[in-house]
Amino acid sequence: MPSCPPLHIMVTDTNHHVRDLLKRELEKEGHAVVTVGNSIEAFHRICDSTAVDLLILDPELLYPYGHGLFACLTDNNPNLKIIVHAYSEFTSAFCSGGNVHFVEKSADSINALRATIRALGAAGS
């Protein structure tokens, strides 16, 4: 499977096991990965940084900012690609399209994330 150029990826998730797994697996692919586990840190790091190419977003971290977080993200970095990594019940709450993509959380979602990241990285190069 072809790889994409290395990306700067921010992984947000409330579960430290998920964060650690995604960081470890994505770093094996050559990406630079930073992890964030709470909404306040995520909000400040995302809105203060333009060095993120791709955000893997746990929608549980949107509280207390809500969907306004998307406006901050895209205003600060209009080329930012966002993957909402969530269980299926969350996906209906978000509009897909443009730079927002969905990967359903499951025991094997790392493979779906890798494929989505490769596709997004190839499209961006």
2, pLDDT greater than 50: no
Give residues with Cβ within 8 angstroms of 105, minimum separation 6: 18, 85, 86, 87
**pLDDT (average), residues 115-124:** 82
Overall average pLDDT of the 63-82 stretch: 73
Contacts of 51 (CB under 8 A, 6+ apart): 8
Model confidence, pTM: 0.84
76 domain-assigned: yes
- Which domain CATH number covers 105? 3.40.50.2300
pLDDT for residue 91: 60
The answer to whether residue 72 sits within a structural domain is yes
pLDDT of the residue at 15: 92
Confidence of residue 99 (pLDDT cuts 50, 70, 90): confident
